[in-house]
A = this chain, B = another copy of it.
């Protein structure tokens, strides 16, 4: 039975869960009300921090889901920040869809899974 380690764990969710040689991150949002590029930068910084706490890093992300609240308005801005952040040669499998988020202040949410 694999041991489970939870990071920044609350009653509703943990920000990261490590088990079975993998880490699952909660959907990250950031900088409510700010432009999509700023929110994306904040999200990716949080992902870096959580992956480090889990004992891995962004070169070891296997999959990412990106939810954009308004694809027509913000898909390009999100991508421009994303493309800069992804380490060359280490891009994860990715899917991007439009979904409104917990409140209208949030324009982007990113969910990643990595291996240790």
Contact = CB atoms under 8 A, between A and B. Distances in A.
A14 interface: yes
A15 B95 CA distance: 10
A94 B26 contact: yes
A45 interface: no
Contacts of A102: 71, 75, 96
B17 A92 contact: yes
B92 A24 contact: yes
A93 B79 CA distance: 24
A27 B94 contact: yes
A12 B115 contact: no
A71 B62 CA distance: 29
Nearest to A19: B115
A96 B97 CA distance: 13
Contacts of A9: 89, 91
Given A24-B93, A100-B98, A83 B11 contact: yes
The 9 closest A-B pairs by CB, nearest first: A27-B95, A97-B99, A13-B94, A24-B63, A98-B100, A26-B93, A24-B93, A17-B62, A19-B115
